[in-house]
Structure 1
């Protein structure tokens, strides 16, 4: 059995980056980079990550912002870009709407809502952000509460996602009836 090293070697990282750069066009690298960033980032930094010129990055980022995949803060200097999480949610919901029937989606929402009700009863609130995880001195209890709150927040996101998928499935891919 080999030892697991959580941090890849510099050579491994460079090999993967080189393969990515050679096998992905500039638009694809900028797109992938945009989806991977978690906060507004100046376009020259995105260009560096995407291994392209700042002008090429800005051109593609503008296109991605027009498509709704990203958002642009053009008031900052240099302009900053970030992914549009709403676009990613819509993409996930669209996939669910394609893969499941309306009845399967509705059944799943009911299951998720039942599970959410268990959290609401356990913590005596409908809002996970109202729960303090530090009410206990015991590290394990704090850790368990943090995990429970995280699961509850993910559950609420899943309910929103499946509800959006239901709307898409019922309205032939549209959010509102035609």
Structure 2
């Protein structure tokens, strides 16, 4: 292809974004999907907008605490705020369940955590050496169990936060 050839036609069968979705929504959706620090230009490519528009909306999202910004290097890097996602999950749990249901779920999760602690003889999943066995199957089983243990710990944190929110009308502390 020479520099004067026409741009190739898109092979996509469906548009990436729904008709009428505004730029802010597209940038927000992309920012929630990134898993590592990413420059505004890359986010703009995926969000189908200009880098300046992406930067404007990313800076707004940063002021809202939804994403974090690392301005130390060039280009500036943006990253989703995992705490924001946990807050969203806890708020959803607080809205969907009663305080009693939340307390019961925390008790169930704490029992699961205690079972993992007994199984591995540790109180922290990072202290477990999953490669401590000879067979591939045993290693795989331990990796799966440790991953599930980490999920239980995360869920305990979410349900405890949801409990605080549910008891205090959406606030962490009572008014």
Instruction: Give me the TM-score of the superposition, normalised by structure 2.
Output: 0.91
Return the alpha-carbon distance in structure 2 between the equivalents of residues 75 and 24 of structure 1: 32
C-alpha contact (below 8 Å) 1:21/1:51 kept by paired residues: no
Once the two structures are TM-superposed, the CA of residue 75 in structure 1 deviates from its matched residue by 2.3
Match of 1:125 among 122, 127, 143: 122
Return the alpha-carbon distance in structure 2 between the equivalents of residues 65 and 15 of structure 1: 34
Q: Which runs of 4+ in 1 moved over 6 A?
A: none
Uncovered stretches (5+) of structure 2, i.e. residues with no partner = 1-9
Is 1:170 matched up with 2:171? Answer: no
Match of 2:4 in 1: none
Once the two structures are TM-superposed, the CA of residue 29 in structure 1 deviates from its matched residue by 0.8
SS of residue matched to 1:15:
coil
Match of 1:51 in 2: 48
Uncovered stretches (5+) of structure 1, i.e. residues with no partner = 1-9
Is 1:97 matched up with 2:91? Answer: no
Match of 1:147 in 2: 144
Tell which structure's C-alpha radius of gyration is larger.
Answer: 2
Alignment of structure 1 residues 13-28 onto 2, 5 Å: 14-16=12-14, 18-20=15-17, 22-28=19-25
Is 1:158 matched up with 2:152? Answer: no
Once the two structures are TM-superposed, the CA of residue 19 in structure 1 deviates from its matched residue by 4.5
Return the alpha-carbon distance in structure 1 between the equivalents of residues 154 and 74 of structure 2: 34
Alignment length (residue pairs): 166
Q: Which moved more, 1:128-137 or 1:70-79?
A: 70-79
Q: Which moved more, 1:38-47 or 1:74-83?
A: 74-83
Return the alpha-carbon distance in structure 2 between the equivalents of residues 103 and 172 of structure 1: 15
